[in-house]
Amino acid sequence: MWIIPAAPLVAAAITALLPGKKRKLSAGLAIGALVISLLVSCGMLHSALHAPGQHTFNFDWFNLGHGALRLGFLLDPLTAFMCVMVSFVSLLIFIFSLGYMKEDANFTRFFCFLSLFAAAMLGLVVANSLLLLFISWELVGLASYLLIGFWFHKPSAAAAAKKAFITTRIGDLGLLLGLLWLYDAGGSLLLYDHGAGVLEASVLASLSGQTLAGGLAVSTAIGLLIFCGAIGKSGQFPLHVWLPDAMEGPTPVSALIHAATMVAAGVFLIARVYPLMAADQLLAAVPVHALTVVAFIGAITALMGALIAVGQNDIKRILAFSTVSQLGYMMLALGVGSWTAAIFHLLTHAFFKALLFLGAGSVIHAAHHEQDIRALGGLAPRMKLTFATFAIGMMALAGVPFLFSGFWSKEAILHAAHAWDVSHLPLYAGLAAVMLTAFYMTRLVAETFFGTARSPAAGHAHESPAVMTVPLMLLAACAVLLGFTGTPACPWLQARLAGTELHSDLSHLFEGGGLMVLSIILVGAGLGAGWWLYGRRTRAQINDRDPLASAAPGVMTVLAHKFYFDELYAATVGRLNTAAAVFADALDRHVIGGAVNFLARFGLFSGAINREMDEDGLNAGFDRLNAGLRGTGVRYSKAQTGEPQGYLRVLAVAFVVLALVLIVGGVR
Amino acid sequence: MNLLPWTIYLSFAGAILALAAGTRSATAARVIALGTALAGWGVTLWAGCQFSPSDGLLTLTNTTWIESLGIRFHLAADGISLTLVVLTGLAAVAGILFSWNIEERTGEFFALYLTLIGGVYGVFLSADAFLFFVFYEIAIVPKYFLIAKWGSTNREYGAMKLALYSFAGSALVLAGLLWIYGAGNASGFSLTELAAGAATLDPNAQLMVFALLFTGFAVLAGMFPFHTWAPTGHVAAPTAASMLLAGVVMKLGAYGCLRVAMGLVPDAIFWFQPAIAWLAVIGIIYAGLVALVQDDFKFVIGYSSVSHMGFVLLGLAAATPLAVAGAVLQMFSHGVIAGLLFAVVGRMVYERTHTRQLAELRRLPLHRLMPFTAVVFVIAGLASMGMPGFSGFPAELSILIGTWPVSKLWTLAAALGVLIAAAFTLRVIQVVFFSRTEATADAAETHPLPPLTWPEQTGAALLLGATILIGLNPGLLLDWIIPGLNSPLLQAIWTGGAP
């Protein structure tokens, strides 16, 4: 099963060495490698479903004296489902990129980075060692940096790449510390290792048995540190700020990384280490359970992302914030204890969000890179296939009942939140976000596809080629069908993931009907409100005021500015960092340099001396010091006391002569 | 293994030959220097192949030198020395490749260069403290001349600052050694004899001696607040010298801290542990922050060196076998990566664009003009910020794993340093190579720069290969280093008591 990540990795390596002109070969390699991964993944899924449980293959990476840092691969249903999803969605996106990136000068490099990304992501899901997972995790971050900044000639893209890398690395810092702690306290980084792995009962018991100051269990602390990594990667509040900016990358990248796979890594990570996260559940006397934090962060993110999406005008940014919001749902599901619902939603979301992003890509491609929904419009008749598939994706995301996958996976999450006995606040946040989601997606579709074209670019738009529309249709099919693998009547997917017996019973289909009806009403309300405001009378000019902004200008401004998180961070963390750096620099130039060289003068002029004067002063100081040293040397040598440096100089020469004599004399 | 002393003899012989040949032909001097360095590196690699970790400390040669003082010409090697001599060989070869274009007094340049290399080999192989010290001084002197004569910006100032710092450090070391020798009634200057002597001192004297030795060496390892010589020296030095300075000379300091200070006075490290660890951690973060706001390209790399050496010092201070092994691995890793970064800045960029000011480099479409250089620097930058797949990752990971049980706070602070490293590295990558991007299509025609030469490409490939090889399989070196920790000279640090 090492083939799954290895195939794209090899493709990336070969592509990296190819000259830029071999466009067909590079794309062929990338796609071929991914086909291999997909086939192997399907085989793995087949065997994982027939022989449930954890199959591991571990090996030493390097020896540390007392033990070794070990890496390993793991096959269980979770891994197998993720592998199939990642390789399948990636494959479709690779194919879509053939059309989308056709005219790009750096086509070869693009496929090299894409392959690297797929390799890292697949490595992440097959890992049986948190260390291997962390390595892949970092490589995923690297690939995303390279891909977001792919059009580095746009300053905004370069800045977004850097922001994404640094922001997610802040989370990674927590993950790294969690790993260090886990290795120290648990003695291993393997997940499953015949009883000695960190997710197995004996280690978990010892981890949750130890408590820190404040009554926090060690497992809780480690779990929260690991969760920091997930917050960064999955764009959770408060580290979500990088995700919308990451839309500066080419649209297939947005689809691949910032919708379907990379951002799902955080959710996957928490699902993967779920036994560790849940190890403190049985302890009553702890101040906080790790999963409670996860649930609330998820709920905040779900609601906040949906709110901000209402105020955006860039087609990709709306989708980006909907991703933030949906990831919040998944975290919420994890937090309330239903990791299978989280993975169900992860899988359905991967398909319909990839569909939406690629649909957006198709629109952007046709409209000559116009992304502002106010400047689009009237595309439905001109791009029928794109419109139809996009509409399916939109309904799946909005949770339109019964037919679409998003409905079923979202229902699973809401029911789990309803059953949570700690608090119902996450449920209310989730329900509010359901309505908002339906609302902003209706707005997006109405503005983009209906009415009249409001810019020349939109007016000249025409349907994209088959290499782009076929992946859309395949994804659309999945966006519908996948939902039926996990309906309450026949929760096949959840049962397979958890390794339990499957109870299928049609009468369960409308179980918890009250909640379902409520959420259907909310979806309807969202759709209706969206239609009332944006669809009923479509925008005529680009500059027309947004109906919602006319109604509540203050609210809309706050939402459009994304609750001012960027401004807040720039004013606090960013400014603090700059100040610290400038302070350290000044300290180095003036205080330490000065103290060494001319303490007395520094005391008088510390604030005023500019750099040039500083240099003059330093040199003069050195000359004096030197002259002093020379004088001392002269005096000492006169007194014949053997000043040590001179003595050594003679010894050094003597040594060279001696060494030569030894060599010539053949003595060793 | 027994060939290893030849690395020293060969280097000195090569120095004399290069000096002689340089008067007639610069090319001859270059070829001699490269041949010597390659031979030296070949010997170290050969020795590495022959080495089996169970060998422990292997005596290579041991003859009387100054009998009345008990000073012997005693060379020995264990896995740690071996790691560092392999690094020295690699850095020497790469440095010569990157100074292939030196036209001014070529013979003298390479003579000094090889003398420096010989001294470094000598330090890593010495088992006699006095011999160690002599080689240490031999390594310092040529550095002064290399910088003062062939350097650039502010070279005399930089050279003098560096030399004075080094000599101040070695004066402390000498005082410490003489203290042990005199007060401890040691029978000779070999490290084991001195360690036995040190054990007889009273605890306070031991602490004093340790402070002298460790501070003396830590100056050369770039420990905060004695680090300011490093950036100025690096900036002033010619490319090859800054590569050696960061690549191996700073390692002399760290190696001295481990082999001499910690090896001779093993108990004292735990008394000084908090102080050293905090200074190391401050160095990591502080130098990283300073690197973030520099406007000279080479100063950024100079400060990043200080920051990365902080990891070495932290690993040593944590004084767990794992952390120390990580520190040695980090010495190797940083030697390779810093060498590469300085090569890009000094040789590939500066000698073609004649500026190192970020504000001026920003205006050049460098990713178009020198795509190979851009790729090399991006990869080296990734290695420098601790990406998995490069040698820095296992090294820093081992240090962090080893430090965690000692103090979570130091580990947290050091891990923060990794984040800062990412910030300043990405900043220079973007500013230098990917800023000016409009109208770049025909830039290569309108502002042509001299193309890269084969020595530069070979040198870059060698260093990149080394960092990736160790990044993928750190066991290659750790399997030498870890048994070396249990050699008679070091095991007292972990087991307590006299060796």
- Tell me how crowded residue B37 is: count the other CB atoms within 10 A of its CB: 28
- B393 contacts on A by Cβ (under 8 Å): 135
Q: Is this complex's ipTM strictly greater than 0.90?
A: no
Q: Is B3 on the interface with A (CB under 8 A)?
A: no
Angle in degrees, 0-180, between the axes of helices A23-50 and A3-17, rounded to the nearest 10 = 170
Q: What is the mean pLDDT of residues B257-271?
A: 86
Chain A residue with minimum CA distance to B229: A593
Model pLDDT for residues A372-384, shown as the tens digit of each residue: 777 777 776 777 7
Range of the domain at B20: 5-496
Collapsing DSSP to helix, strand or coil, A240 comes out as coil
* Residues sharing a CB contact under 8 Å with residue A615, sequence separation 6 or more, in sequence order: B154, B157
CB contact under 8 A, A581 and B292: yes
B223: closest CA of chain A, how far (Å): 13
Q: Is B469 on the interface with A (CB under 8 A)?
A: no
Model pLDDT for residues A311-329, shown as the tens digit of each residue: 777 888 888 888 888 888 8
A435: closest CA of chain B, how far (Å): 39
Cα→Cα distances B491→A234, B208, B475, Å: 46, 22, 21
Model pLDDT for residues A118-150, shown as the tens digit of each residue: 888 888 888 888 888 898 888 888 888 888 878
- Tokens in use for A650? 């003679």
CB contact under 8 A, B134 and A622: no
Nearest to B449 by CA among B346, B344, B345, B352: B352
Nearest to A519 by CA among A353, A351, A426, A398: A398
Check: CB of residue A54 under 8 Å from CB of residue A193: no
Collapsing DSSP to helix, strand or coil, A59 comes out as strand
Which residues in A259-277 are b (16+ Cβ under 10 Å) and which e? bbbbbbbbbbbbbbbbbbb
A649: closest CA of chain B, how far (Å): 8
**pLDDT: which is higher, A588 or B98:** B98
Q: How many angstroms separate the CA atoms of A419 and A498, rounded?
A: 18
Check: CB of residue B367 under 8 Å from CB of residue B444: no
Model pLDDT for residues B411-427, shown as the tens digit of each residue: 888 888 888 888 888 88
pLDDT at residue A659, rounded to an integer: 65
Check: CB of residue A334 under 8 Å from CB of residue A274: yes
Nearest-10 Cα torsion for A182, A186, A190, A194: -160
- Would you place residue B332 in the very low, low, confident or very high pLDDT band (cuts 50, 70, 90)? very high
Averaged pLDDT of chain B: 84
* Residues sharing a CB contact under 8 Å with residue B327, sequence separation 6 or more, in sequence order: B254, B258, B311, B312, B313, B314, B315, B316, B399
Collapsing DSSP to helix, strand or coil, A265 comes out as helix
**pLDDT: which is higher, B471 or B1:** B471
Collapsing DSSP to helix, strand or coil, A402 comes out as coil
Q: How many angstroms separate the CA atoms of B135 and B156, rounded?
A: 24
* Residues sharing a CB contact under 8 Å with residue A608, sequence separation 6 or more, in sequence order: none
Chain B residue with minimum CA distance to A120: B388
pTM: 0.83
Check: CB of residue A187 under 8 Å from CB of residue A175: no
Model pLDDT for residues A510-528, shown as the tens digit of each residue: 666 677 777 777 777 777 7
pLDDT at residue A167, rounded to an integer: 83
Q: What is the mean pLDDT of residues A241-269?
A: 81
- B479 contacts on A by Cβ (under 8 Å): 62-63
To the nearest whole percent, how much of chain B has pLDDT over 90?
A: 7
Q: What is the mean pLDDT of residues B127-153?
A: 86
In the DSSP assignment, the letter for residue A69 is E
pLDDT at residue B120, rounded to an integer: 92
- A629 contacts on B by Cβ (under 8 Å): 164
CB contact under 8 A, B422 and A165: yes
The β-bridge partners of A75 are: A55
Backbone angles phi, psi at A322, to 5 degrees: -70, -35
- Tokens in use for B351? 């000698």
pLDDT at residue A595, rounded to an integer: 61
For an interface test with A, the pick among B54, B426, B435 (most A C-beta atoms closer than 10 Å) comes out as B426
Peptide bond into A238 cis (omega under 30): yes
Question: Judged by CB atoms within 8 Å, which residues 639-658 of A form the interface with B?
Answer: 644-645, 648-649, 651-652, 655-656, 658
Q: Which residue has the tokens 């003059």?
A: A616
pLDDT at residue A647, rounded to an integer: 57
Q: What is the mean pLDDT of residues B210-224?
A: 87
Q: How many angstroms separate the CA atoms of B399 and B5, rounded?
A: 31
Which residues in A125-164 are b (16+ Cβ under 10 Å) and which e? bbbbbbbbbbbbbbbbbbbbbbbbbbbbeeeebbebbbbb
Q: Is A481 on the interface with B (CB under 8 A)?
A: no
Burial of A611 (0-12, 13-18, 19+ CB in 10 A): exposed
- pLDDT at residue A638 greater than cutoff 60: no
Q: Is A65 on the interface with B (CB under 8 A)?
A: yes
- Considering CB atoms only, which of A584, A651, A659 is closest to B9? A659
Check: CB of residue B247 under 8 Å from CB of residue B87: yes
Q: How many angstroms separate the CA atoms of A328 and A330, rounded?
A: 5
Model pLDDT for residues A376-409, shown as the tens digit of each residue: 777 767 777 788 888 888 888 877 777 778 788 8
Q: What is the mean pLDDT of residues A342-365?
A: 85
CB contact under 8 A, A582 and B293: yes
Check: CB of residue B206 under 8 Å from CB of residue B179: no
Check: CB of residue A249 under 8 Å from CB of residue A147: yes
∠ CA B394-A74-B473 to the nearest 5 degrees?
25
pLDDT at residue B260, rounded to an integer: 87
- Considering CB atoms only, which of A177, A183, A581 is closest to B415? A177
Return the H-helix or E-strand segment holding B127.
none
- Tokens in use for B454? 């084969």
A106: closest CA of chain B, how far (Å): 13
A447: closest CA of chain B, how far (Å): 33
For an interface test with A, the pick among B11, B145, B286, B320 (most A C-beta atoms closer than 10 Å) comes out as B286
Collapsing DSSP to helix, strand or coil, B496 comes out as coil
Q: How many angstroms separate the CA atoms of B465 and B41, rounded?
A: 15
pLDDT at residue B28, rounded to an integer: 85
Q: How many angstroms separate the CA atoms of A628 and A370, rounded?
A: 72
CB contact under 8 A, B401 and A184: yes
For an interface test with A, the pick among B8, B164, B397, B473 (most A C-beta atoms closer than 10 Å) comes out as B397
pLDDT at residue A477, rounded to an integer: 82
Q: Is B408 on the interface with A (CB under 8 A)?
A: yes
Q: How many domains does chain B have?
A: 1
The total number of residues shown for chain B amounts to 499
Collapsing DSSP to helix, strand or coil, A209 comes out as helix
In the DSSP assignment, the letter for residue B4 is T
- B440 contacts on A by Cβ (under 8 Å): 153
In the DSSP assignment, the letter for residue A248 is G
- Considering CB atoms only, which of B167, B387, B430 is closest to A162? B430
∠ CA B104-B106-B109 to the nearest 5 degrees?
100
Question: Judged by CB atoms within 8 Å, which residues 174-233 of A form the interface with B?
Answer: 176-177, 180-181, 183-184
pLDDT at residue A503, rounded to an integer: 65
- Would you place residue B367 in the very low, low, confident or very high pLDDT band (cuts 50, 70, 90)? confident
Q: How many angstroms separate the CA atoms of A9 and A36, rounded?
A: 12
Collapsing DSSP to helix, strand or coil, B121 comes out as helix
Model pLDDT for residues A157-201, shown as the tens digit of each residue: 888 888 888 888 888 888 888 888 888 887 777 777 777 777 777
- A588 contacts on B by Cβ (under 8 Å): 228, 286, 290
DSSP codes of every residue in B377-405: HHHHHHHHTT-TTSTHHHHHHHHHHHHTT
Question: Judged by CB atoms within 8 Å, which residues 308-337 of B form the interface with A?
Answer: 321-322, 325
pLDDT at residue B499, rounded to an integer: 41
Model pLDDT for residues A203-243, shown as the tens digit of each residue: 777 777 777 766 677 888 888 888 888 888 887 878 878 88
- Considering CB atoms only, which of A64, A593, A625 is closest to B322? A64
Cα→Cα distances A190→A101, A128, B401, Å: 40, 6, 15
In the DSSP assignment, the letter for residue B76 is E
- Would you place residue A502 in the very low, low, confident or very high pLDDT band (cuts 50, 70, 90)? low
Question: Judged by CB atoms within 8 Å, which residues 145-174 of A form the interface with B?
Answer: 149, 152-153, 158, 162, 165-166, 169-170, 173
Q: Is A132 on the interface with B (CB under 8 A)?
A: no
Collapsing DSSP to helix, strand or coil, B66 comes out as strand
- B382 contacts on A by Cβ (under 8 Å): 142
Q: What is the mean pLDDT of residues A479-486?
A: 74
- Tokens in use for B356? 């190192």
> Strand locations in A530-606, DSSP E?
none
- pLDDT at residue A641 greater than cutoff 50: no
Q: Is B451 on the interface with A (CB under 8 A)?
A: no
Averaged pLDDT of chain A: 76
- pLDDT at residue A603 greater than cutoff 50: no
Q: Is B351 on the interface with A (CB under 8 A)?
A: no
Q: Is B293 on the interface with A (CB under 8 A)?
A: yes
B205: closest CA of chain A, how far (Å): 22
